Amino acid sequence: MTPPSAWIVRFAPLVPDGGMVLDVACGAGRHTRLMLARGHGVVAVDRDVSGIADLAADPRVEIVEADLEDGRTSPLADRRFAGVVVTNYLHRPLLAGLVAAVAEGGVLLYETFAVGHPGPPANSDFLLRPGELIDAVRGRLEVVAYEHADVEAPRRARVQRLCAVRPRRALV
């Protein structure tokens, strides 16, 4: 199995202890497994959940088989999470909802391909424009870290990475 993203591993400690994590387009579950190992419950979503079938009996995992791009209302639309993890996936109509899904004190960890990526994917519909992740969270979450960079590992790519938190309300 592919190891978890170094970016996600680096910022995973910011997810509040014991909080529920949403792993979007979870694939084989590398980040689901990381968050489980860190003591979190996980809602793992993908249109093909066969890669996490071995986790079906784990009471800490809620597996949601859903095509998030079919235009139907998300089955998670009204839920909030201590952590939202998205890697190697972009469907722009979901961005606002993913930001909204971050609970107070929670964190959004996002990493995917950016314009200039050698591909695959090469289709600009699946590549972030410069600053697009920052724009998606502006005024809603506080950016902890952001990169728009060329990387060599785990494979050559141009990526954007974001770690952003929803501030806790100030005590009055």
In a domain, 154, yes or no: no
Number of domains in the chain: 1
pTM above 0.85, yes or no: yes
* Token representation of residue 90: 């972009």
Q: How far apart are CA 93 and CA 38, in angstroms?
A: 30
Q: How far apart are CA 64 and CA 80, in angstroms?
A: 15
In a domain, 4, yes or no: no
- Looking up residue 57, the CATH number of its domain turns out to be 3.40.50.150
Q: Residue holding tokens 């809620």? A: 62
In a domain, 125, yes or no: yes
| Domain span at 35 | 16-139
Per-residue pLDDT of the chain (172 residues; tens, 9 = 90+): 789 999 999 999 999 999 999 999 999 999 999 999 999 999 999 999 999 999 999 999 999 999 988 888 777 778 999 999 999 999 999 999 999 999 999 999 999 999 888 878 877 888 999 999 999 999 999 999 999 988 887 788 899 999 999 998 755 5
